[in-house]
Structure 1
Amino acid sequence: MSQLPARRPRFRLRKWFAATGWRHVIGIVFAVFCAFPLVYVLSSSLNPNGTLLGSNTLFSKVDFSNYVNLLFNLPQQPFVAWFLNTLVIGLVTGASTVFLGALAAYAFSRMRFAGRRVGLLTLLLVQMFPQLLAVVAIFLLLNAISNIFPAIGLNTQIGLILVYLGGALGVNTYLMYGFFNTVPASLDEAAKIDGAGHARTFFTIILPLVGPILAVVGLLSFISSTSEYVVASVVLTDPTRQTLAVGLYSFISQATSANWTLFSAGAVMAAIPPMALFLYLQKYVISGLTAGAVK
């Protein structure tokens, strides 16, 4: 009996590359492209020279003096206070956005009232205009509020949180509205038959079922509020109340004293909270982003 000729390895390699191999190549290229800036910033943060030109060779010097200076040796630039301010503002903004957005989305999804469709469209259209266009109006409004209620006016973290809430509720409400529509209305009807009101139905039945979209909205709100610079730089003028985005800019704002490696060390530490929160909510984020678009 004659044996069949063995397939050539080159043929099998071509077949694999034509089927799925090219996807792996593209994925590796994009992974390297995305990871290189992160690796370069990490390498710069470990270089004590203070300039980016001295950090062209990756990890040529490994020194943690930049991190020590950030935490202990810069009283005029309180990095720890900026870090704590950012955490407080981000967490409060994220939690408030989730709670208020969920209430609004539940009302639009389950209740029928005059102006419901117009209200949804208005929320969506208003978000088409960036918050940057309203910086002057925000400053004048908070400055006027400071004369009456100083606790929520200019140069207060509560005032900045209120500004962030006003800019985030629209798009997040619309996003959660699409997810709420995927929850069967029969659950609400069964709860109503058992004597439950809207509040009890919302907190005990609906909220546990929409956990993925709550995690997505909370994560996006946290990231946007902790990385925002323009509004925070206008509202917060006291260095001890500023956020990381505003405070770290002081390291590179002056051309004669720009310390890019110190700025890189601060950027690496500033990336820890969003990364930790993303890893914690990852399983909810994946399901929330996919299910929220299905109606």
Structure 2
Amino acid sequence: MTNTDVHPTTRAAIVARTGKDGTIPLPRRPFPKWFRETGWRHIIGIAMLVFAAFPLLYVLSASLNPGGTLVTANSLFSTVDLGSYVELFNRPQQPYAAWFANTLVIGLSSAAGTVLLGALAAYAFSRMRFTGRRFGLMTLLLVQMFPQLLAMVAIFLLMSAIADIFPAIGLNSQIGLIMVYLGGALGVNTYLMYGFFNTVPASIDEAAKIDGAGHARIFFTIILRLVAPILAVVGLLSFLGTMSEFVIASVILVDPEKQTLAVGLYQFISQETSRNWSVFAAGAVLAALIPMGLFLALQRFIVGGLTAGSVK
């Protein structure tokens, strides 16, 4: 049917409803129907956004309030002063800069070690067949049911005994803390990587072996590039877990110059007579910048890395 076959009244109605771009807009739904179908989702989304953003805004407001107490920070951004950020780096007895550097060194080292060792173990479980393979996988999964906190006394005694023989990796040693973190994080991360490694076709390994490549060359030159999303996810989760860990770091690291941010920041509010919540909030805001930057940089890997290994 051509335009000439359309009744003049119908053609006029179509022209009246056509927008500037030539499309015909859909009729507006009544408000009750819109709210029942999609409107309630917007309300829930806005509520969740407010629920998630309010603590962040409150901490930022407290860091800019020079009062030093949370009571004076109840009025968001009523006072804006950068004095807490300046004071944060002018306390010799509480070296925030050293805590920040220690956290970066320990977090990045733990993340790199976790990714490397976990990937090696996951590759072995995924590509090689050996006696005890299934038992090893089940053991890794079962061990993770018990958190490291339950072994805190055993870890302390072990590190104390090691310090008598090798002080560099014993108690009050950052290297020793990194080794403790590596031992506790390998299990779950290995199992997570194992599921992702299984999604990589084994025919790629077979083709490389025909060309004369061994397991080491296949792993470092081929497999690692194909499983980059899960490596980024494991590295990010390991780094975030190390930054926020408090109990083990507070037990192993004794000297203030060797402590991490989670342990050091507690000193600002641990003493009853010298609590300064403004400085504490300023330190928390600065400490959140690096995880936020890493999350934004690795965001495109996170969803794929977490879901691709769930289905083979």
TM-score range, shorter-chain basis?
A: over 0.9
Q: Tell me the residue number matched to 2:34.
A: 16
> 1:8 Cα shift?
8.7
1:284 aligns with 2:301: yes
TM-superposition CA deviations, 1:164-200 (whole Å, max 9, x none): 0000000000000000000000001111111100000
- Where does structure 2 lack aligned partners over 5 or more consecutive residues? 1-8, 18-25
TM-score, length basis structure 2: 0.91
1:91 aligns with 2:111: no
1:55 aligns with 2:73: yes
Alignment equivalent of 1:64, drawn from 65, 82, 90: 82
Alignment equivalent of 1:274, drawn from 287, 291, 295: 291
TM-superposition CA deviations, 1:111-156 (whole Å, max 9, x none): 0001101100100110111111111111110100011111100001
Distance in 1 separating the partners of 2:276 and 2:147: 31
Instruction: Name the amino acid aligned to 1:203.
Output: F
> 1:19 Cα shift?
2.3
Instruction: Name the amino acid aligned to 1:208.
Output: R
Distance in 1 separating the partners of 2:30 and 2:191: 49
1:139 aligns with 2:156: yes
> 1:286 Cα shift?
1.8
Q: Tell me the residue number matched to 2:20.
A: none
Distance in 1 separating the partners of 2:265 and 2:27: 58
Distance in 2 separating the partners of 1:116 and 1:18: 53
Kindly tell me: are residues 192 and 17 of structure 1, through their superposed partners in 2, closer, same or farther at Cα, counting changes over 3 Å?
A: same
Larger mean Cα displacement after TM superposition, 207-216 or 251-260: 251-260
How many residues are matched?
Answer: 292
Instruction: Name the amino acid aligned to 2:60.
Output: L
1:213 aligns with 2:230: yes
Secondary structure, counterpart of 1:53 in structure 2: coil
RMSD: 1.6
The percentage of aligned residue pairs carrying the same residue is 72
Secondary structure, counterpart of 1:55 in structure 2: coil
1:45 aligns with 2:63: yes
Q: Tell me the residue number matched to 2:207.
A: 190
TM-superposition CA deviations, 1:9-55 (whole Å, max 9, x none): 6x433333222222121111011001101100000000000000111
Once superposed, which parts of structure 1, at least 4 consecutive aligned residues long, lie more than 6 Å away? 1-4
Q: Tell me the residue number matched to 2:256.
A: 239
Secondary structure, counterpart of 2:129 in structure 1: coil
> 1:285 Cα shift?
1.1
Distance in 2 separating the partners of 1:43 and 1:122: 47
Secondary structure, counterpart of 1:251 in structure 2: helix
| Higher Rg | 2
